[in-house]
Amino acid sequence: MATCGAGAFLLCPLISRPLKQSLILLKRVCFNPMLQILPMKLKTNPKTNRREENFDLWLGKPAPRYTSFPPAPFFTPAVTEQDYSSYLSTLADDAGVSLYLHIPFCRSLCLYCGCNMSVTQRADRVQNYLGALKREIERVAALTGKRRVRSLHFGGGTPNILGEQELRDLFAVLRQHFDFNAAREIAMELDPRLASADQAESLAACGITRVSLGAQDFNPEVQLIVRRHQPYEQVAAVCAALRHAGIRRINLDLMYGLPKQTPESLADTARRVCALAPDRVALFSYAHVPQIKKHQRVLEKYGLPDVRQCLALENAARGVLIENGYCEIGIDHFAKEGDGLTQASREGRLHRTFQGYTEDDTPHLLGLGASSIGQTPAGYFQNEPDARAYQSLVANGQLPIRRGFLVSPEDRLRRAIIERLMCDLACDVAAVCRRHNFPIENLAEDFARLRPYEEAGLIARQGATLRLATPYRMAVRIICKAFDPYTLGSQKILSSRVA
């Protein structure tokens, strides 16, 4: 069984290199000034194997991924379309928005998939859905007025299942109802198996500026098991076609925790990914939720790696990415030096949404399409997740809100603390309290919950400033949990363990 700790791996490439090169690497790892303000004493004793003890405090423990606070399992049906409608109609006159658009269809099922999607080969199913989506766009815009859009993200499912004409029509409706003149980014998640040179040209013509390609793992044995046949050469050809069409901002998604992955094989995938020179790489931990996604059960017969093996997999891929010049962003993203995400991360301007890490600071993120989630200062508004039920609600003339969460001033404070921790792996809690006009004394119990982690060296604390020790960055979700009374007081099943 692998016992390699995150920190051990992280330091390996550093000590085998000339000093100058090591310092450059170190700079990439310690990307944020917040990370450098506290002296860090790591209690690592090789005799007592202290780091192993520390693992027991966090590795394999359940914790939300904190893409929102409160986490999505705490959303409630008490939040209705009336709440959303009143939020939309009272947006400040000068407020811009960002948009997330969900396309919940794929051509085939990948066995690891945890997304809201269904498989279809039927054009009419997609067209009917697009009809509802356009009506929802019109309805939302009727309440907000024609707003400036800062960024637009198409997620799925597989947004590039849409044909050229379908995409053009959808963009026509979007541009009719929202103002894209100052949009910084229009991004789309693509399945490389459906992409082509012609599609790349049509995406560019529609104004797409960034794409995320699902690469996951290039090992043929892993691909066979997860039912996603996708040779490296195919992904390489798609990257070339996109760049030729003028879409130069490319993200690649990798995943660890799948059957038959080994640190060596995943490192090999990461090397191939680096050869494609994406601007950003996401290294997702596989979320195994067979109670919700029954198809994932099939993977169990091949044997899923345990949490320590997962950590070794993550270490292996991360090491390759860092060696190849990528900077670590939060817990699972990597970006080139000079990329906007790297800059935002260094300057403490990173944000975390349901789409992951972003430099987009627009507080008004509106969700469109089945299952999409709006993230706003008032709270969260989630659409009906089932595509057919979503279409019926829209056909009835409703805003298809199914559940959500209206945040209190204290929720907003906790959301800010957790966001800084997830983004910076550090937080000046006193400063956040001052900004939210919240007495820090009221967080005494939260700080008390942190004590075991301080004693074990997972975090350093100076006054009310917290910092994760670099080797334990993956433990940040457990640290966030100390500030999350909803999760702490709940019996709800949390979907993911920390690894």
**Does 191 sit near ligand SF4 (CB under 6 A)?**
yes
Q: Using CB distances below 5 to 8 A depending on partner kind, what does residue 255 bind out of ligand SF4, ligand SAM, none? A: ligand SAM
Residue among 5, 240, 458, 462 at smallest CA distance from 481: 458
H/E segment holding residue 414: helix 409-424
**Does 387 sit near ligand SF4 (CB under 6 A)?**
no
Residue among 315, 326, 240 at smallest CA distance from 472: 315
Q: How far is the CB of 289 from ligand SF4 (least distance, A)?
A: 13
Tell me how far apart the alpha carbons of residues 51 and 308 are, in angstroms, rounded to a whole number: 13
Helix (H, G, I), strand (E, B) or coil at 81: helix
Residue type present at position 271: R
In this structure, how many other beta carbons lie within 10 angstroms of the beta carbon of residue 120?
17
**Does 276 sit near ligand SAM (CB under 6 A)?**
no
Query: How many residues in the chain?
Result: 499
Q: Which of 136, 185, 217, 253 binds ligand SAM (CB under 6 A)?
A: 253
Strands (E), 217-332: 249-256, 280-285, 326-329
Tell me how far apart the alpha carbons of residues 364 and 439 are, in angstroms, rounded to a whole number: 27
Tell me how far apart the alpha carbons of residues 351 and 345 are, in angstroms, rounded to a whole number: 9
Query: How many chain residues interact with ligand SAM (CB under 6 A)?
Result: 18
**Does 115 sit near ligand SAM (CB under 6 A)?**
yes
**Does 289 sit near ligand SF4 (CB under 6 A)?**
no
Q: Using CB distances below 5 to 8 A depending on partner kind, what does residue 7 bind out of ligand SAM, ligand SF4, none? A: none
Query: How many chain residues interact with ligand SF4 (CB under 6 A)?
Result: 11
Phi then psi dihedrals of residue 352, to 5 deg: -125, 130
Applying CB under 6 A, the span of 89-97, 155-163, 333-341, 449-457 interacting with ligand SAM comes to 155-163
**Does 192 sit near ligand SF4 (CB under 6 A)?**
no
Q: Pairing relation of β-strands 280-285 and 426-428?
A: unpaired
Select the residue whose beta carbon is closest to ligand SAM and give its number.
Answer: 214
Q: What tokens were used for 303?
A: 């044997």
Q: Using CB distances below 5 to 8 A depending on partner kind, what does residue 372 bind out of ligand SF4, ligand SAM, none? A: none
Give whichever of 114 and 363 is closer to ligand SAM, judged by the CB atom: 114
Residue type present at position 349: R
Give whichever of 113 and 425 is closer to ligand SF4, judged by the CB atom: 113
**Does 35 sit near ligand SF4 (CB under 6 A)?**
no
Give whichever of 7 and 192 is closer to ligand SAM, judged by the CB atom: 192
Q: How far is the CB of 333 from ligand SF4 (least distance, A)?
A: 18
Question: Is the Cβ–Cβ distance between 326 and 281 less than 8 Å?
Answer: yes
Give whichever of 280 and 467 is closer to ligand SF4, judged by the CB atom: 280
Q: How far is the CB of 194 from ligand SAM (least distance, A)?
A: 9
**Does 284 sit near ligand SAM (CB under 6 A)?**
yes
Q: Using CB distances below 5 to 8 A depending on partner kind, what does residue 109 bind out of ligand SF4, ligand SAM, none? A: ligand SF4
Give whichever of 126 and 413 is closer to ligand SF4, judged by the CB atom: 126
Q: Site residues for ligand SAM, window 349-378 (CB under 6 A)? A: none
> What is the residue-wise DSSP string for 416-437?
HHHHHHHHHSEEEHHHHHHHTT
Q: Which of 58, 66, 75, 112 binds ligand SAM (CB under 6 A)?
A: 112
Site string for ligand SAM, 214-233 (x = CB under 6 A): x-x-----------------
Helix (H, G, I), strand (E, B) or coil at 411: helix
Helix (H, G, I), strand (E, B) or coil at 155: strand
Q: Which of 287, 298, 464, 494 binds ligand SAM (CB under 6 A)?
A: 287
CA distances from 234 to 215, 269, 363 (A): 10, 14, 38
Return the DSSP state at 359. -
Site string for ligand SF4, 61-100 (x = CB under 6 A): ----------------------------------------
Question: What residues form DSSP beta bridges with 367?
Answer: 100
Is the Cα torsion angle 434, 438, 439, 443 positive or negative in sign? negative
Tell me how far apart the alpha carbons of residues 372 and 253 are, in angstroms, rounded to a whole number: 20
Tell me how far apart the alpha carbons of residues 422 and 440 are, in angstroms, rounded to a whole number: 20
Applying CB under 6 A, the span of 113-121, 371-379, 452-460, 471-479 interacting with ligand SAM comes to 113-121
Which residues of the chain form contacts with ligand SF4 (CB under 6 A)?
106, 109-110, 113, 115, 117, 156-158, 191, 214
Return residues touching ligand SAM (CB under 6 A).
106, 112-115, 155-158, 189, 191, 214, 216, 253, 255, 284, 286-287
